[in-house]
Amino acid sequence: MQNLNKNIILIVLFSGLINACNFSSQNQLPILGNRVAEEKIIDGKLVVDTIYQTIPAFSLLNQDSIEVNNEMLKGKIYVADFFFTSCPTICPVMKKEMIRVYEEFKGNTQVVILSHTIDPDYDTLALLRDYASRLGSDGKQWMFLRGDRKQVYDLAEKGYYASAMVDSTEPGGFIHSGGFVLVDKLQRVRGIYDGTSTHEVDKLMSDMELLLKEK
């Protein structure tokens, strides 16, 4: 449990550091992750574009056995998190907070929520479908994703700056981050928020409103 709390704290601190360094105005969210400068010649002039890191390509199944991938998320903003249904520690609190996010943006076709299980052996699609129903999800706007464990863990680390791993010494047998990750319409990470904190989730919802207005 101590290690898990450290992971949560590190993610929140990392997010705060990036935010502090990159905010250019109160109405613009930072873009997290690596970036490279790309030089182009346009009309005989040298132009330097900044290319930002995006979510790696993925293909997972949701609770209704429907494939979910990057392509279907184009033009939408979404919130991603990691959990497992038998989690005895932070997951119940995270899901309580995510219900607030879902209810706030319910019916908005530009907003999606993706919850990734880190225990695919136990969390079958049938169990995820039941879990979604018990949380009040319609299964379309808020989806519960399952896939190969390595793929999900790699996606957490390389795409969402989150931790997910097996640890037999921890309650439930796993360690995972408690962050809610905000992704924009170009699939760039724009913020990470502590999913166990009502204050942080309030900030997430406020930032989602900003992101929806962003061109």
Please give, one letter per residue, the 3-state secondary structure of 187-213: CCEEEEEECCCHHHHHHHHHHHHHHHH
Those residues with Cβ within 8 angstroms of residue 99's Cβ, 6 or more apart along the chain or in another chain: 135, 136
pLDDT at 9: 36
Look up residue 74 and give its amino acid.
K
Q: How far is CA 188 from CA 29, 60, 68, 79, 173, in A?
A: 11, 19, 17, 11, 31
- Is pLDDT at 175 greater than 60 in this prediction? yes
Instruction: Tell the CATH topology of 2-213.
Output: Glutaredoxin (3.40.30)
Gyration radius from the chain CA atoms: 17
- Is pLDDT at 119 greater than 80 in this prediction? yes
Q: For the whole model, what pTM was predicted?
A: 0.83
pLDDT at 173: 66
The distance from CA 8 to its chain's CA centroid, rounded to whole angstroms, is 14
Q: Among residues 146, 88, 139, which one has the least CA distance to residue 118? A: 146
Across 44-156, the runs of DSSP E, i.e. the strands, are 45-52, 59-62, 67-69, 77-83, 111-117, 142-146
